[in-house]
Amino acid sequence: MLARLITARSFLAGLLILVGMLLVSASLLGLPVVVSEAGVAYWLAAALLWPSLSARNRRQASLLLAVGVICLGLSAWLGGELAWSRFFSSNVSILSMLVAVSFLSLVSRPANEQDKPLPRGRGALASTLAAIHAFGAVINISSVFIIGDRLAQVTKLSREQSIVLVRGFSAAAFWSPFFAAMGVALSVAPKAQLGQLWLVSMPLAGLSLGLTYWQLARQQPNSHAVLAVPYAKDTVGNFVGYPLHLSALWLPLLLAGAVLLLHQLQPSLSILAVITLLAPLFSLSVLALTARSPLTGIKQLVNGRLPQMGNELVLFLAAGILAYGLESLLLSAHWQLPVSHFGALAASVTYLGIVLLALLGIHPIVCITLAASLWSPLNPDHSLLALVFLSAWALGTATGPLSGINLAFQGRYGVDSFALMRWNLSYLGLMSVCVIAGIYLLAALLGL
């Protein structure tokens, strides 16, 4: 009886999440739909999924909500006017994009090669980095588990394999329009230009992959023995990796091109809106063209992936209340930062601050929400602001011991999240130098 109740609750939550995305899509198409109605659907789904969340996520969400409500109360006490519809509309656009992107998992899967031997050596290291980055850029964290589960069939994941999967996946946050990081960045910096961003963020993603390959390929057989990790016994010569076929790259490339084309044809639609509309349409069309049932695919999402979004759903909704509370309080108190310009120096300090907080276990979305609220009165350049947030997300999640990817990795493969942090600290330091150089470069190009 209890199992049936949980299944029914999960199905209803998944259905409400789908309804929320459809309502936002309808509003983007100009239909008479109020966005806050989608927010109501998301909040109801969050309430249904609340009991299934981990205690840690419930505590974090409760704290964000409490702080946000307190800020709103102080704002009202100071005479600020509150728009109660914002309770149901904050971060709805980001959530809808994430739901839309989940449709891509129906058509973008690494090839099933369960019976084929896995490659070894330096070539395997390179192919695994490329594979996890390419698939992660489109289908997000599910790519880590698809590839990780395949590698774990051979033996327990090694230090090198863990580093490759975590870094290769997280680096997609630098540029992928289908990543949660991009959704957050564009929600607080909607005027950011992808062309300007990619001019710096794509090379940074390439540098992160190249640095990872270089660090692992140059190590000697016992160079990590000092870490005293019992399962870290593979050198790069024995690295067991995942194959990447060029045919598997058609979907990421086609989607990225389609997003840019539609944005050019309809410049009134933000990148966030374009992805929300395009990803489900594209995925269902591919299913129909390959003689698979789109309805069956939707049922799979409602019963599977969408209810599994509980942690993301609750976190983004709570962070939306926090963002609105901070924004209202700062406006009501007429408080501003003791600086008058958001340039390269301010951007670099903001990046370092977010990464430091990530190392302390605070989720990047919380830090980004706070930073965006603080800098908003100065009307910062949105492309530069977005680069800061994307870079902090890409490196903060790879290194932070309490980030979603590292905690999920620990739970699924038994790799200690604090060990992952230690293994990635040198990577964080070297990449931070590159990021700050990128920030100064973009600021110079923008004339800031």
Cα 98 to the chain's mean position, in Å? 9
User: CB–CB of 389/442 below 8 Å?
Assistant: no
Cα dihedral 385, 133, 209, 173 in deg (nearest 10): 10
Instruction: Give the pLDDT confidence of 16-51 residue by residue, as tens digits.
Output: 999 998 998 888 888 888 888 888 999 999 999 998
User: d(Cα 396, Cα 381) in Å, to the nearest integer?
Assistant: 22
For residue 337, the tally of other CB atoms under 10 A from its CB is: 12
339 phi and psi angles, rounded to 5 deg: -135, 160
pLDDT at site 112:
53
User: CB–CB of 227/151 below 8 Å?
Assistant: no
Instruction: Give the pLDDT confidence of 195-224 residue by residue, as tens digits.
Output: 889 999 999 999 999 999 999 988 755 544
* Two structure tokens written together for 199: 């001019």
| Residue ranges of the chain with per-residue pLDDT less than 70 | 1-3, 5-6, 108-116, 139, 142, 154, 220-235, 245-249, 251-252, 334-338, 411
The domain ranges of the chain are 2-445
User: CB–CB of 143/166 below 8 Å?
Assistant: no
Cα 448 to the chain's mean position, in Å? 28
Q: Is 120 strand, coil or helix?
A: strand
User: d(Cα 7, Cα 45) in Å, to the nearest integer?
Assistant: 13
> Is 227 exposed, middle or buried, given 0-12, 13-18 or 19+ CB atoms closer than 10 A?
exposed
Tell me the CB-side half-sphere exposure of residue 332, using CA atoms within 13 A: 18
User: d(Cα 361, Cα 369) in Å, to the nearest integer?
Assistant: 15
The total number of residues shown for the chain amounts to: 448
* Two structure tokens written together for 100: 């839309």
Which residue, among 395, 400, 393, 388, has the nearest Cα to 360 in the 3D structure? 400
User: d(Cα 61, Cα 251) in Å, to the nearest integer?
Assistant: 35
Q: Where are the alpha helices (DSSP H) in 52-193?
A: 55-77, 86-89, 92-102, 122-139, 142-152, 159-170, 180-188
* Two structure tokens written together for 180: 């949660």
pLDDT at site 224:
46
User: CB–CB of 33/285 below 8 Å?
Assistant: no
Q: Which residues pair with 120 in a beta bridge?
A: 240
